[in-house]
Structure 1
């Protein structure tokens, strides 16, 4: 495993919510970070069929364009009753004909698909959020870190915090959705904490333990 020696990196994303969460996570470690969106980098085509492949595509594109290490995230909602969908196509389910994304529409699509599948009871609506972080260097070296959190898809959507599908995902052991949690409740984690809640925070915990800690 390669250690990250610099405190200047690029967050390889154009997703405002994701950028905010990653910057919240890396901020306490003293990083100076700009996003691929701020730097006007072209979004690479995510042609992979796994979270790992797409995270790698994005991180390498930003690392090569900037000459700096880049940290990307590829994440999604995996629903058992839908055969793993939307999975790596989580963002695609929110795409509108004009190219913008509407996650309220996407959540309605998920609910309609679950109804079609006959998944009306909580036990039939098991799901997990998956996040894969990729740290890439300009020389092409990459490290991958995967985090998952189990839960249930609920309806109607609850809460206006977070982004994406957060309002319909209730993590295991909680009575609230990610959409009802503050950023601190959802992914607040710091070194020394035994556990992290969100999928992204869990992946980040592994990243810290692997690439930042001595």
Structure 2
């Protein structure tokens, strides 16, 4: 099966999945999902990704993909983690989420500001009854203040390993080569190719 439904209504994400997966696995096509959004009540990235992929597979009858991602800060025991999008409350407010994280880390030393972005992609194939997850991690640390205008979410405070600037300062193409999502998609491409 070469067509997958991506359990999202985000057109940019569909384009990104097609561009990266299409370049790694010729003949793969990712299409959008027009069904209802399920309640993500899992306690891990993998559980939430599987909830969404299962819903898309059940709604369409096609092999489905979904991703769940967030930022995990070492000194916070991996938080915000699955709560990254709503860290400062129930609304998805990127600026408030970033500010709360900076406030929580205000007295944390540089060497203890380690973090990573994580992306987990779930695959559910109702034709073969196969389910699996792959993941990508992008290590780095949290800056002391916001820098840069590219990207979204926590990009303005995330300094990738080996860099001295935040992900929001990186060229978007460079960021896409390094990111947790691109790492997870490469792992998915390896799995699909084998």
TM norm structure 2: 0.88
Partners of 1:155 and 1:19 in 2: CA distance: 33
Partners of 1:129 and 1:157 in 2: CA distance: 17
> Can you list the C-alpha shifts for 1:114-137, whole angstroms capped at 9, x where unaligned?
12xx31x32121101111111111
Deviation at 1:147, TM superposition (A): 1.1
Partner of 1:193: none
State the aligned residue count: 191
Q: Are 1:42 and 2:69 an aligned pair?
A: no
Q: Which shifted more, 80-89 or 155-164?
A: 155-164
Q: Which shifted more, 125-134 or 137-146?
A: 137-146
Does the Cα contact within 8 Å between 2:14 and 2:30 map onto a contact in 1? no
Partner of 1:136: 124
Partner of 1:194: none
Does the Cα contact within 8 Å between 1:132 and 1:146 map onto a contact in 2? yes
Residue in structure 1 matching 2:73, options 74, 79, 93: 79
Partner of 2:30: 33
Partner of 1:163: 152
> RMSD of the TM alignment (CA)?
2.0
| Structure 2 unaligned spans of 5+ | none
Does the Cα contact within 8 Å between 1:79 and 1:127 map onto a contact in 2? yes
Residues 17-166 of structure 1 aligned to structure 2 (within 5 Å): 18-28=13-23, 29-36=26-33, 39=34, 41-93=35-87, 95-96=89-90, 100-115=91-106, 118-119=107-108, 121-139=109-127, 140-166=129-155
Report the secondary structure of 1:91's partner residue.
helix
Q: Which shifted more, 59-68 or 178-187?
A: 178-187
